[in-house]
Chains A and B, each alone.
Chain A
Amino acid sequence: MREGAVVLVTAVMIAGFTSLNGSFFTLANSKVLADFVAGNVAVAAAQVMLMVVGEIDLSVGQVYALSPYIMYLVYQDGLGFKVGIPVAILAAALVGLINGIVTVRLHVPSLIATLGMGFFLSGFNIYISNGWYQIMPEKQPYTAVFGGGVIAGIDVTYLWTAAALILLAIVLARMRHGIWSIATGSNLFGSREVGVNIRRTKIMNFILASVIAGMWGIFIANRGFTFGASGVADPAQGGDTLTLESIAAAVIGGTSLLGGSGTIIGAFAGSLLIAVLQDGLILVGAGAYIYQTLLGIAIIFSMALNIQARKWARR
């Protein structure tokens, strides 16, 4: 299993942290880990969908802030969340569509196209919000369904995340869109010849990535409601940090930018590794100083291990 090395490294880290401080291996801490992972694994999975077709999206961090704020603005205009949420998701889809068209039709490499979109949106987000965050009004049931609620002790966001991961995994493995995505990424000319609609496949994945970023942005914006605080529509939410982390999680999980291979499980494994590392370091009291260094080593090491293992297996 390609993700084997990642899982192994994660397991070693869990064991190491627990031996340094027993509180790591507790239910309370696993909830902390779940919070971490839920925030960005879906976006990481979305990146996987794009990297499988050989593209990338550097604007997800900005869409993550755009959608909740648009939802808030529509609500403020008196149209309520009933209209606000669909509009917010449509806005995200529009961003994805533009990213897709610019990449596929205008032939601008997705790295550049989404980079430009990211710059544009970061200015736009500040423009529509005056740079200020807003308290999310607690308009049931919408804020509850979209991130603020808790069902049987489990945050709604976890349920959404689990559902999305399962759905994406099924799409990638079994459904036509997923198979076409892999085909597009691994053998462009060949897939064209067997009738794969390259353009539509790629554009759909761009839209998918942006929609996921937007929806999870909404969930996180409403997350405050789950523990008695308020939700916040923050124009600076997510940002470059989220983009970078989603890519890191995807690549740690074994997805390659060259396209043609990638798994949703890999995104989850990558997300989990990052979460365990960051959480563990703070818990044992090492935090600020070496997190970045260790993250870098973990990224390189797990992949190198992966590749070496494959080479040995082949011998």
Chain B
Amino acid sequence: MRLMRSVKHRNFSFRNLFSHPEVTIALVTGICAVAFAYFFPNFATGNSAQVIFTIAGTDAMVGVGETMLLISGELDLSVGTVFALAPFLMNAFYVVGVPIVIAFLMALLLMGVVGFANGYITAKIGVPALITTLGMFFLIRGLTLIVSNFHLITLPNIEPFRSVVGSGVIFETLPIPIVWAVGITIVVALMLQRTRHGLWTVATGSNPTGAGEVGVNTVRTKIYNFMLAAILAGLAGIIQAMRIGSAEPLQGGFDLTLGSIAAAAVGGTSLLGGSGTIIGTLIGSLLFGIFRDGLIIGGASEIVYEMALGIAVILSVGLNVLLIGRRGRSSRQT
């Protein structure tokens, strides 16, 4: 992980600039945005921006949690189903009389419990994260289906809660999801750079044994990050559900999980742990939002979108890898 402020102490050069993954992905994102705006004038409108920010906001929130986990050397596949469960729990509390804000916080708390379970089973008992969170994915999905009885539920339309947590739009262009996402990005990025937890996260991811030896509590660090990921996923799920007006049992899902990992990778986070950037994940989510919005405005059919997305994902990560020389432990030798 490179701290942006360290650039001041080195001679400025393009190589140094491009060694920050955030710069690379911001450049790619900027080029894409300009290209789309040039060919499709309607892309550069307030409405279009709202669509981009809505998509990006949701993905980024989940992605930020996933990024912290990736940096610490772990992975969470269950975020996609935690995303779906949270709004149902919130609604369940609400209908028995709990005030909506308390219900909201209780749902997030329960997601934290899920995250704790993920973390404990992975870091303390030693089940590999892939297995724990894959199992949790199914388990939470099953619980969601049971709690929802397979049906979508229309959520209560309570203002100002709904505007603040879901459907509000600021300055005609910024939907609330992106405001949350940017806020969360700033807070978590600062946490990564300035707090002991952030330092320990990086240490745990880059050298778990060594870190343990110098007194880093790797188990606790990982558990906290699992909890953070689950809470952020639950928050994103509630925000989306409030925006749409309904909670659906199958929203999010494996696609959301993979999308959040892809946003992190595109943004410059290494999937092998030890380095990553929260801001990069936000920009990566923006790129995917631009892509989706731009292609729809451009008239592309679903087929074209799928094929283009596949190529774009590979190219953007490949580009990052190429420019930074951050090739990961195993492939550095190949």
Contact = CB atoms under 8 A, between A and B. Distances in A.
B125 interface: yes
Contacts of A54: 330
A28 B91 CA distance: 45
A107 interface: yes
Interface of B: 121, 125-128, 130-132, 134-143, 145-146, 150, 254-255, 258, 261-262, 265, 271-272, 302-307, 309-314, 317-318, 321-322, 327-331, 333-334
Looking at A115, A240, A256, A258, the one whose CB has the most chain B CB atoms below 10 A away is A115
Nearest to B265: A112
A126 B134 contact: no
Contacts of B146: 289-290, 293
B314 A116 contact: yes
Contacts of B126: 307, 311
B328 A107 contact: yes
A248 B313 CA distance: 24
Given A111-B271, A120-B311, A198-B333, 12 more contacts: A109-B265, A115-B258, A115-B313, A116-B310, A123-B306, A127-B303, A289-B142, A289-B145, A296-B140, A297-B139, A300-B127, A301-B135
Contacts of A248: 134, 138
25 contacts: A104-B331, A106-B321, A108-B318, A109-B328, A111-B265, A117-B310, A120-B310, A121-B310, A123-B304, A123-B307, A127-B303, A188-B330, A189-B333, A198-B333, A240-B255, A244-B254, A256-B128, A288-B145, A288-B150, A292-B145, A296-B135, A299-B131, A300-B139, A303-B135, A307-B125
A247 B75 CA distance: 15
Nearest to A131: B303
Nearest to B253: A240
B306 A119 contact: yes
Contacts of B254: 240, 244
B9 to A, nearest CB: 29
Nearest to A120: B310
Interface residues of A, number: 56
A290 B142 contact: yes
Interface string A256-279: 111000000000000000000000
Looking at B128, B141, B150, B261, the one whose CB has the most chain A CB atoms below 10 A away is B128
Looking at A106, A240, A257, A307, the one whose CB has the most chain B CB atoms below 10 A away is A106
A112 B265 CA distance: 8
Contact of B306 (A120, A198, A290): A120
A122 interface: yes
B331 A102 contact: no
Contacts of B307: 119-120, 123-124, 127
A294 B322 CA distance: 43
Nearest to B129: A257
B139 to A, nearest CB: 3
B48 to A, nearest CB: 23
Shortest beta-carbon contacts, A-B, top 6: A293-B142, A296-B139, A123-B306, A120-B310, A299-B135, A296-B138
Nearest to B143: A293
A106 B318 contact: yes
A291 interface: yes
Contact of B121 (A118, A199, A300): A300
